[in-house]
A and B are shown apart, each in its own frame.
Chain A
């Protein structure tokens, strides 16, 4: 139900929810696309204008999105948004796969498409007005950088650390860009589609206190 597709715009026009109407009015041409499907409203913005957009959404009295629920990313890996084509990336770790353990690190990856690979997704809600909005920004694979929202919401701090950890999205201006779940020596970002589910990491030699002492037998 993209507003930019000619075939759908007729169907999308009457569905424009009151929230989207207000948001489009306030944000103007910062909104690249807007969707309203299954009761969820979402807007697409360019990554350059994310900080500005978020500030308007937070400070405008009619929108007043004061609660940042979630920051995450999607790895589309050559897929267009909304998935017009269906591709299978890998088979699941099924019993047949377990019979061939040598194949478990293999991945069947689809060809890279022309679309930007990542999308960063923000979920906002308002404790006063009780509406929700989703913001999406597409990021290319070779330069996955976006401005951090930590100055606006401190809640973004940990959520962006998690997104960096699992997807490798760089948040510029983040005060504490560490991994949050995994250890610092971890290679790769596990929620990317090209990271095998059964992928193994090199064993890190422990160098902390007591490293030289003999190992206790199990």
Chain B
């Protein structure tokens, strides 16, 4: 442990007050250096100064939390059993579930599963609470809509084939395993 208290070095006031043009030249040299460096990169063919959005996408890390979606199994049904834990854990109460019963072996399924994306804050607590790996934070970030009603996502819109969520399910299995 070595924490020291040091005084900040205050550059002498006389330097720039005597020769202000010197400090300004120095600043101009910094921005010129940036300009020349970028120009050199551009001439050598580097094109990644800007990302042309709809055609190009940012490379996001595997930890990315996008919009929550429901996993759809191979038989076309959801994995969710309508236990309501995500509804309970959601800090902003943006999830609404009405459960119903079915003759399958899981016995329960959500008849209505709505997520109000205008309230959702992408915190990922629903995913952490889910005991079935049924609600998963996807990599989808484009959720804009033209109307307010359009930001209420119903079950049919939320279902995503589970194979497309592999990055995230791998991440969950690796990191939420304690």
The interface residues of chain A lying within 8 Å CB-to-CB of B87 are 95
Quick check: is A21 within 8 A (CB to CB) of the other chain?
Answer: no
Size category of the B interface is under 10
- Report Cα–Cα, A95/B95, bound state, in Å: 8
- Report Cα–Cα, A134/B79, bound state, in Å: 51
Residue of B with least CB distance to A93: B93
Residue of B with least CB distance to A99: B96
The interface residues of chain B lying within 8 Å CB-to-CB of A93 are 93
The interface residues of chain A lying within 8 Å CB-to-CB of B97 are 95
Quick check: is A100 within 8 A (CB to CB) of the other chain?
Answer: no
10 A-B pairs, CB-CB below 8 angstroms?
A: A93-B93, A94-B88, A94-B93, A95-B87, A95-B93, A95-B95, A95-B96, A95-B97, A98-B93, A98-B96
Q: How far is the CB of A168 from chain B (nearest CB, A)?
A: 28
Q: How far is the CB of B100 from chain A (nearest CB, A)?
A: 16
Question: Which B residues have a C-beta under 8 Å from some C-beta of A?
Answer: 87-88, 93, 95-97
The interface residues of chain A lying within 8 Å CB-to-CB of B93 are 93-95, 98
* A interface residues, how many (CB within 8 angstroms): 4
- Report Cα–Cα, A98/B92, bound state, in Å: 12
- Report Cα–Cα, A95/B97, bound state, in Å: 9
Q: A95-B87, A95-B93, A95-B96 are in contact. List 7 more A-B contacts (CB 8 A).
A: A93-B93, A94-B88, A94-B93, A95-B95, A95-B97, A98-B93, A98-B96
Counting residue pairs across A and B whose Cβ atoms lie within 8 Å, the total is 10
- Report Cα–Cα, A124/B171, bound state, in Å: 45
Q: How far is the CB of A60 from chain B (nearest CB, A)?
A: 25
- Report Cα–Cα, A94/B84, bound state, in Å: 12
Q: How far is the CB of A117 from chain B (nearest CB, A)?
A: 29
The interface residues of chain A lying within 8 Å CB-to-CB of B88 are 94
- Report Cα–Cα, A94/B93, bound state, in Å: 6
Q: How far is the CB of B152 from chain A (nearest CB, A)?
A: 13
- Report Cα–Cα, A94/B96, bound state, in Å: 10
The interface residues of chain B lying within 8 Å CB-to-CB of A95 are 87, 93, 95-97
Within 8 A of B (CB), among A71-100: 93-95, 98
- Report Cα–Cα, A98/B97, bound state, in Å: 12
Within 8 A of B (CB), among A130-185: none
Q: How far is the CB of B68 from chain A (nearest CB, A)?
A: 15
Q: How far is the CB of B110 from chain A (nearest CB, A)?
A: 13
Q: How far is the CB of A91 from chain B (nearest CB, A)?
A: 12
The interface residues of chain B lying within 8 Å CB-to-CB of A98 are 93, 96
Residue of B with least CB distance to A92: B93
- Report Cα–Cα, A55/B134, bound state, in Å: 60
- Report Cα–Cα, A21/B95, bound state, in Å: 53
- Report Cα–Cα, A95/B96, bound state, in Å: 7
- Report Cα–Cα, A95/B87, bound state, in Å: 7
Residue of A with least CB distance to B97: A95
- Report Cα–Cα, A95/B93, bound state, in Å: 6
Residue of A with least CB distance to B114: A95
The interface residues of chain A lying within 8 Å CB-to-CB of B95 are 95
- Report Cα–Cα, A93/B91, bound state, in Å: 10
- Report Cα–Cα, A180/B161, bound state, in Å: 51
- Report Cα–Cα, A95/B116, bound state, in Å: 12
Q: Which of B88, B93, B96, B97 has the most CB of A within 10 A?
A: B93
3 nearest A-B residue pairs (beta carbon): A95-B93, A95-B87, A95-B96
The interface residues of chain A lying within 8 Å CB-to-CB of B96 are 95, 98
The interface residues of chain B lying within 8 Å CB-to-CB of A94 are 88, 93
Q: How far is the CB of B112 from chain A (nearest CB, A)?
A: 11
